[in-house]
Amino acid sequence: MARPAGANTTSITFNNVAIGSLTLNATAFPNSNGTGTAQAKGSAPVYRDGQCNRFRHRHHGQHHHAVEFNACRSDGSGGSDASPGGDRRDAAGNIVLLSSQKLQWVSSDTARAAVDSAGIVTGVAIASGVSAPQITVTDTESGKSASIGVTVAALLYNSTFESGTVDSVWTTVSLGTSVPLHIEATPIGDRHFLGQLLQQKAILTLNNLSAHSAVTVTFDLFIISTWDGNGGVPPGSSVWGPDIWQLQVAGSQTLLNTTFSNWQ
C-alpha cells in the first residue's frame, strides 16, 4: 500500500485472522508502486487467542451476530480462577474481532462465583447443577450476549507428594505384611509418591467439611512388581493370587474392587 500524502502512518486490516501465532512482516520501498531498493524491513510476532479475550485489536466495524462461548475452562475450585473462553462471530459464522473494553461480564450469583472486567471467574462457594451461577458476557456495542453456567468445587485435598513428607491426614492399618507410610521416588523420572506399600490399608481422613452433596477423588495408582491378577496356573488358583486392590468409602460403599497384573 502507498504511504498517504502528508502523513507518516497508515493501517491495514486483516479479516478472518487464524487463531494462533502469527508474524507480521513489512518492507518499505521508495516508490509508491512497490519498486526500488527496499529502505527498511520490520517484523513483529502477534498472537490471536481464540479461547479467551486476550487479543487486543481495534474493532474494524464488522457486525457480529452472536457471542459464543467455547470450551475454555468452565469450572474451578473454590478460590481459584478460571476464564470462560469465547469467540465473537457474525451471521456467517466468521470470527469477528472486537475490543475487550466493549465486553461486560456479569455473574448471576456473586456469593458463589465472581467475575472481573477481564472475564476472570473466581469461585467463592460450592455450586453446581441448578445452583450453578451463570456468567454472562455482553458486547455493549451490539447488545449481543451469551451465558454459561460454572461449577464451583471445593478443593478438599491435593497432593503430589513432592514435598517428601506424609501429610497428617494419612494413616495406615496392616492387612498382612506392611510398612510405615513413607514417600519414595521412582527409579525413572524421580516421581515422589506415597509408597511403596505392601499388604495394608492407606487411609485418607478429611474432617470439618463444608456442606456438599458429592465428592470426586482422582489419583494415580502405581502397581509395582509381580502382581498376578486372579492367580497363577491354572488361572484362579491361589498359588500366586488373587492380588486384590480396593477403594472404599468407609461405612458406605466400595468404589473399586479388582485384581491387577503386570505380566504381559
Site for another protein in 198-227 (CB under 8 A): 198-227
What grid cell was written down for 141?
456495542
Residue 71 or 206: the one with the smaller Cβ distance to another protein is: 206
Binding window for another protein (CB under 8 A); candidates: 13-21, 26-34, 43-51, 233-241 = 233-241
Shorter beta-carbon distance to another protein: residue 19 or 255:
255
Q: Which residue has the cell 456495542?
A: 141
Per CB under 8 A, the list member of 7, 12, 130, 188 interacting with another protein is 188
Chain positions 72 to 101 lying near another protein, rule: CB under 8 A, are 77
Residue 75 beta carbon to another protein: minimum distance, rounded to whole angstroms: 9
Distances from the Cα of 110 to the Cα of 62, 115, 121, 123, 134, angstroms? 33, 8, 10, 9, 10
Number of residues engaging another protein in binding (CB under 8 A): 92
Q: Which of residues 120-159 bind another protein (CB under 8 A)?
A: 126-128, 151-159
In the region spanning residues 35 to 74, those forming contacts with another protein, defined by CB under 8 A, are: none
Closest listed residue to residue 88, CA positions, set 13, 150, 17: 17
* Minimum separation from the CB atom of position 234 to another protein (A): 11
By CB under 8 A, residue 196 contacts another protein: yes
CB of 153 to another protein, least distance (A): 4
Separation in Å, CA 19 to CA 1, 133, 182, 185, 232: 25, 29, 47, 41, 55
Q: Interaction with another protein in 5-34: which residues (CB under 8 A)?
A: none
Q: Which residues pair with 253 in a beta bridge?
A: 249
Give the shortest CB-79-to-another protein separation in angstroms.
Answer: 12
3-state DSSP assignment of residue 26: strand
User: How far apart (Å, rounded) are the C-alpha atoms in residues 185 and 222?
Assistant: 12
Sign of CA dihedral 115, 121, 127, 128: positive
